[in-house]
């Protein structure tokens, strides 16, 4: 959590529960991110092109699940940021009812494991209205991560010095205008690292959708194992594929954060 | 420059923070073109009084009229009053994600609905007026304290306010930067702006203030011209306070 002091420099909220973003201090040629990525890529390439059998066959099968993994993750990123933003604003709203609604949502969702939510939405709610696997997965991930991001946005908004809102109001802006033009642009900059971490965690947690019969990377791996019994080989490859994706995504988030910082100075 | 028109009419204003009485029945009339300086020890209610004028603090009771418009009640149009009342803060409160020009342009564009080109043209004039014509692209993080405060003044002026409120505008500044801000305020006073200033700057008081108001414990103890208050205070509390700051 950021500390609140009265100066204008925006602080960064450090909430990490996923892959650590590469830190800015690490500017050497060999840093931990590069080393891990190199090992992962070299490992993958060696398995697919040097050892070949059975890895190239496994790779061709499981990589077909990548579009679904990315699709679900991307959909859930949009959904959860949308939900999180409104939840965060709701929590600090002056209307008590909005505070309660967003507060209950956060408490409720954070107290239930994602896997349980996913199964509940797909199978239990499926009794009342038919939900396809992909929408169900995107909705479940969005609702779950929206609650966590709501907390991040709330903390981000609260970290903006009170004087910013006062200055905006004093100029004649409405509360909504002040939020939109003054508070939220500054909030976004503060929460990018934390939200970026959530994106990475979502990419990883998208593998849970394999339990509702969506053929993502993991699901295709499991199907392949049941056909060939090559469990070690298949799951090793699946793990490496996820690792490469996650590392690349964490770099993208770090670059985004960097761009935001550069713009500021 | 004073006219007889009352620009800010503060009537029997009270403000409680829980059990603390920040303002006890304060009344004060400020005429058009008048420059009023409010002094007093910390916790005397002077900032609370100033912040009540554009309702950044809500009053417990009492009423304030700005150019005849009520601040409280069903007829109150708080946005109109805020548009007509410029405020300068101790901690500047510039928007750090916008450059100097955009800091100044934002409210005229979003509130007054001016076109971007007109707003920018005006903003450039204002920046020149506060001596920062060459810094329009600078972000607040790249400006010194004195420069930030001058941009903040320009930002308020861009709304063409009828009254300017200054809440300890030089208290957060290094000594060498105080003058550049006070000079801008002096110019403003000379041009006939109605100003309410919470500050202990004696030099500014003597040069520009039509009246000095001394507040203590949530009430106005004494007011008069700067000579009366600084050279011949009548009340003991005023004398005691002046001894501390002089």
User: What interface predicted TM-score (ipTM) does this complex get?
Assistant: 0.93
Q: Please name the helix (run of DSSP H) or strand (run of DSSP E) that holds residue B221, with its range, or none.
A: strand B219-224
A35-53 residue pLDDT tens: 899 999 998 898 888 887 8
- Do B140 and A171 make contact, defined as CB atoms within 8 angstroms? no
Please choose, from the candidates A14, A36, A68, A15, the residue with its C-alpha nearest in 3D space to the C-alpha of residue A251. A36
Is the pLDDT confidence value at A21 over 80?
Answer: no
Shortest Cα distance from B142 to chain A (angstroms)?
7
Q: What is the pLDDT of residue B120?
A: 96
Q: Is A186 among the domain residues?
A: yes
**Residue A129's domain is classified under what CATH number?**
1.10.3720.10
A177: contact with B, CB 8 A cutoff: yes
Give residue A15's pLDDT band: very low, low, confident or very high (50, 70, 90): low
Is the pLDDT confidence value at A94 over 90?
Answer: no
Burial A24-34 (b: 16+ CB within 10 A, else e): eeeeeeeeebe
Residues from chain A that touch B97, judged by Cβ atoms under 8 A, are 185-186, 189, 264
Is the pLDDT confidence value at B215 over 60?
Answer: yes
Residue of B nearest to A190 (CA): B97
The minimal CB distance from B96 to the residues A170, A171, A186 is found for: A186
Q: Is A248 among the domain residues?
A: yes
Q: What is the pLDDT of residue A6?
A: 45
Residue A129 or residue A153, greater confidence = A153
Give residue A5's pLDDT band: very low, low, confident or very high (50, 70, 90): very low
Q: Please name the helix (run of DSSP H) or strand (run of DSSP E) that holds residue A187, with its range, or none.
A: helix A184-205
pLDDT above 90 covers a percentage of chain A that reads 52
Q: Is A60 among the domain residues?
A: yes
**Average pLDDT value for residue range A17-24:** 54
Q: Is A240 among the domain residues?
A: yes
Q: Which residues pair with B30 in a beta bridge?
A: B8
Residue of A nearest to B112 (CA): A172
- Do A167 and B95 make contact, defined as CB atoms within 8 angstroms? yes
Q: What is the pLDDT of residue A2?
A: 40
The CA distance from B93 to B79, in Å, is: 19
Residue of A nearest to B90 (CA): A163
A262: contact with B, CB 8 A cutoff: no
A53-70 residue pLDDT tens: 888 889 888 899 899 999
Q: Total structural domains in chain A? A: 1
Residue of B nearest to A7 (CA): B91
Q: Which residues pair with B14 in a beta bridge?
A: B61
Domain extent for A191: 32-264
pLDDT above 70 covers a percentage of chain B that reads 99
Shortest Cα distance from A172 to chain B (angstroms)?
5
Q: What is the pLDDT of residue A260?
A: 76
Mean pLDDT of chain A: 86
Q: Is A161 among the domain residues?
A: yes
Residue A130 or residue B74, greater confidence = B74
Angle at B83 between CA B105 and CA B75, to 5 degrees: 155
Q: Is A252 among the domain residues?
A: yes
Is the pLDDT confidence value at B192 over 60?
Answer: yes
Cβ atoms of residues B197 and B35 within 8 Å: yes
Q: Is A17 among the domain residues?
A: no
Mean pLDDT of chain B: 94
**Within 10 A of B113 (CB to CB), how many other CB atoms are there?**
8
Contacts of B196 (CB under 8 A, 6+ apart): B8, B30, B36, B38, B50, B53, B163, B164, B165, B166
**Average pLDDT value for residue range A153-173:** 95
**Average pLDDT value for residue range A128-141:** 85
* Structure tokens that stand for A58 in this block: 């496994």
Contacts of A260 (CB under 8 A, 6+ apart): A188, A189, A192
Is the pLDDT confidence value at B53 over 50?
Answer: yes
Shortest Cα distance from A82 to chain B (angstroms)?
22
Q: What is the pLDDT of residue A133?
A: 83
- Under DSSP, is residue A250 helix (H, G, I), strand (E, B) or coil? helix
**Average pLDDT value for residue range A225-242:** 91
Contacts of B192 (CB under 8 A, 6+ apart): B1, B33
Q: What is the pLDDT of residue A14?
A: 55
The minimal CB distance from A163 to the residues B89, B111, B141 is found for: B89
- Centroid of chain to Cα A173: 33
Q: Is A166 among the domain residues?
A: yes
Is the pLDDT confidence value at B25 over 50?
Answer: yes
Q: What is the pLDDT of residue A31?
A: 81
Q: Which residues pair with B63 in a beta bridge?
A: B11
The CA distance from B112 to B30, in Å, is: 26
Residues from chain B that touch A163, judged by Cβ atoms under 8 A, are 89, 91, 93
């Amino acid at each position: 959590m950021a500390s609140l002091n009265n100066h204008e420099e925006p602080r960064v909220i450090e909430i990490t529960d996923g892959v650590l973003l590469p830190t800015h201090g690490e500017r050497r040629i060999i840093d931990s991110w590069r080393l891990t990525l190199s090992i992962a890529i070299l490992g993958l390439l060696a398995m697919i092109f040097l050892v070949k059998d059975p890895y190239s066959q496994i790779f061709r099968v499981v990589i077909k699940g990548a579009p679904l993994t990315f699709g679900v993750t991307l959909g859930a990123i949009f959904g959860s940021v949308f939900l999180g933003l409104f939840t965060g604003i709701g929590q600090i709203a002056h209307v008590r009812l909005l505070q309660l609604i967003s507060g209950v949502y956060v408490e409720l969702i954070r107290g239930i494991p994602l896997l349980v939510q996913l199964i509940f939405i797909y199978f239990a709610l499926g009794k009342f209205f038919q939900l396809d696997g992909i929408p169900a997965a995107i909705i479940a991930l969005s609702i779950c991560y929206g609650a966590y991001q709501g907390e991040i946005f709330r903390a981000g908004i609260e970290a903006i010095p009170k004087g910013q809102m006062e200055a905006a109001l004093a100029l004649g802006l409405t509360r909504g205008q002040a939020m939109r033009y003054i508070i939220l642009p500054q909030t976004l900059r503060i929460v990018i690292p934390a939200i970026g971490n959530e994106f990475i965690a979502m990419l990883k947690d998208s593998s849970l959708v394999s339990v509702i019969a969506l053929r993502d990377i993991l699901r295709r791996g499991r199907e392949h194992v049941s056909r060939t019994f090559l469990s070690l080989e298949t799951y090793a490859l699946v793990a490496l594929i996820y690792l490469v994706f996650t590392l690349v995504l964490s770099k993208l988030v770090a670059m985004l954060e960097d761009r935001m910082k550069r713009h500021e100075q | 420059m004073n006219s007889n028109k009352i620009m800010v009419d503060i009537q029997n204003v009270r403000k409680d923070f829980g059990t603390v009485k920040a303002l006890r029945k304060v009344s004060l009339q400020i005429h058009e073109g008048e420059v009023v300086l409010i002094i007093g020890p910390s916790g005397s209610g002077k900032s609370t009084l100033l912040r009540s004028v554009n309702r950044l603090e809500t009053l417990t009771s009492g009423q304030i009229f700005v150019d005849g418009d009520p601040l409280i009640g069903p007829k109150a149009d708080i946005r109109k009053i805020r548009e007509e009342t410029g405020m300068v803060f101790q901690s500047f409160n510039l928007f750090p994600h916008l450059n100097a020009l955009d800091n100044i342009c934002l409210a005229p564009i979003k509130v007054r609905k001016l076109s971007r080109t007109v707003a920018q043209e005006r903003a450039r004039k204002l920046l020149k007026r506060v001596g920062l014509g060459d810094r329009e692209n600078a972000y607040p993080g790249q400006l010194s304290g004195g420069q930030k405060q001058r941009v903040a003044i320009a930002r308020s002026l861009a709304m063409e306010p009828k009254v300017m409120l200054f809440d300890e505008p030089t208290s957060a500044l290094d000594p060498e930067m105080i003058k550049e801000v006070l000079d801008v305020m002096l110019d403003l006073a000379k041009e006939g702006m109605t100003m309410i200033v919470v500050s202990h700057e004696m030099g500014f008081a003597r040069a520009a203030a039509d009246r000095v108001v001394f507040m203590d414990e949530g009430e106005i103890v004494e007011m008069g011209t700067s000579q009366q208050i600084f050279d011949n205070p009548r009340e003991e509390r005023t004398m005691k306070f002046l001894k501390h700051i002089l």
